[in-house]
């Protein structure tokens, strides 16, 4: 319950936040909503000498929809994702997924940037961002660079972000066709036993596009390219869905924990992916 001591900083620009991160190196951590970091600090699993609070940096906030490009500031909260009519129209899967994350209080403060940069495979938005083929913009002292969500996750808590970089925004294309974020969990606020993000577009009765990513079934989110390929060109019939599930099961690597043994997780992953495909197809 009681975290270790730290010095607190509240910079009002990305540049100034980057200076502080550079000055204190390993000792410094950026804090967004704080709803992953503070719990870890309270358990003394994270030891932070200098906390760099991003709350006063206006540039990190807001949702912009320009044509079919959506850019979301890293400090945008889950609650803001849920309540944005513009986002619900341009990419409704964000709202569907965000409503399955945590609980109301956590969603008021937890941010999209914190969720995707945290590196915990239990977080829901990383898989969703891989499904959407989102690009993350990282700012460092030498400028910014973009990293695809599909290349960002290396292992549990290891990402392509360098310690002295800040994730500033997330960019992806508006979705067309059907979507679903299907999540199996033990109760409200739990990380997924298994979850699937699915986008499907149809041309007549034929699937013309599909994207699939799975959550909490490996030490990173898993973008399942072969599973999506198994759907494209099909009529989304049972055989195609079976093939997609089989391809997905080849790419995940669940670990046994108190959500269940590996065999159970593989089973649940299949059930969840089928449901997600069916719901996305029904909306396409």
Two tokens, residue 79: 């609650």
Piece in contact with other proteins (CB under 8 A), picked from 19-27, 47-55, 142-150, 266-274: 47-55
In this chain, which of 3, 62, 177, 260 binds other proteins, going by CB under 8 A? 3
Piece in contact with other proteins (CB under 8 A), picked from 58-66, 100-108, 118-126, 162-170: 100-108
Question: Hey, how many other C-beta atoms are within 10 angstroms of the C-beta on 146?
Answer: 11
The residue whose two tokens read 């619900």 is 88
CA torsion sign for 209, 133, 153, 98 is negative
What are the beta bridge partners of residue 159? 153
Piece in contact with other proteins (CB under 8 A), picked from 50-58, 68-76, 230-238, 274-282: 50-58
* Closer by beta carbon to other proteins, 107 or else 202: 107
Is 233 a residue that touches other proteins (CB under 8 A)? no
Is 28 a residue that touches other proteins (CB under 8 A)? no
CA distance 219 to 153: 9
Angle between helices 262-283 and 238-251 (to 10 degrees): 140
Binding pattern to other proteins, positions 108-127, x when CB under 8 A? Answer: xx------------------
Please give the size of the binding site for other proteins, defined by CB under 8 A: 30
Task: Calculate the alpha carbon distances from 250 to 154, 180, 200, 261 in Å.
Answer: 18, 21, 21, 17
Is 185 a residue that touches other proteins (CB under 8 A)? no
CA distance 225 to 131: 9
Piece in contact with other proteins (CB under 8 A), picked from 37-45, 133-141, 159-167, 240-248: 37-45
Which residues here bind other proteins, judged by CB under 8 A?
A: 1-8, 10, 31, 34-35, 38-39, 41-43, 51, 53, 55, 79, 102-106, 108-109, 188-189
């Amino acid at each position: 319950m009681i975290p270790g001591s730290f010095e607190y900083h509240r910079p009002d620009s990305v540049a100034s936040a980057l200076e502080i991160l550079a000055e204190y190196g390993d000792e410094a951590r950026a804090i967004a909503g704080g709803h992953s970091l503070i719990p870890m600090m309270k358990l003394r699993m994270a030891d932070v000498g200098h906390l760099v609070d991003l709350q006063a940096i206006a540039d990190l906030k807001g949702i912009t929809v320009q044509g079919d490009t959506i850019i979301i500031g890293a400090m945008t909260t889950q609650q803001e994702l849920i309540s944005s009519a513009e986002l619900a129209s341009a990419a409704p899967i964000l709202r569907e997924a965000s409503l399955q994350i945590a609980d109301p209080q956590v969603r008021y403060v937890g941010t999209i940037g914190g969720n995707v940069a945290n590196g915990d495979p239990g977080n829901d938005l990383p898989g969703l961002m891989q499904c959407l083929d989102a690009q993350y913009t990282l700012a460092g002292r030498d400028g910014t660079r973009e990293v695809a969500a599909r290349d960002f996750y290396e292992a549990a808590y290891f990402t392509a972000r360098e310690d002295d970089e800040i994730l500033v925004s997330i960019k992806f294309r508006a979705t067309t066709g059907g979507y679903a974020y299907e999540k199996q969990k033990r109760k409200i606020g739990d990380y997924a036993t298994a979850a699937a993000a699915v986008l499907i577009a149809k041309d007549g009765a034929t699937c013309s596009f599909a994207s699939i990513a799975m959550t909490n079934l490996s030490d990173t989110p898993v973008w399942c390219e072969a599973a999506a390929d198994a759907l494209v060109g099909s009529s989304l019939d049972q055989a195609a869905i079976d093939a997609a599930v089989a391809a997905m099961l080849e790419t995940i690597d669940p670990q046994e924990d108190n959500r269940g043994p590996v065999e159970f997780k593989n089973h649940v992953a299949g059930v969840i992916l089928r449901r997600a495909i069916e719901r996305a197809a029904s909306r396409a």
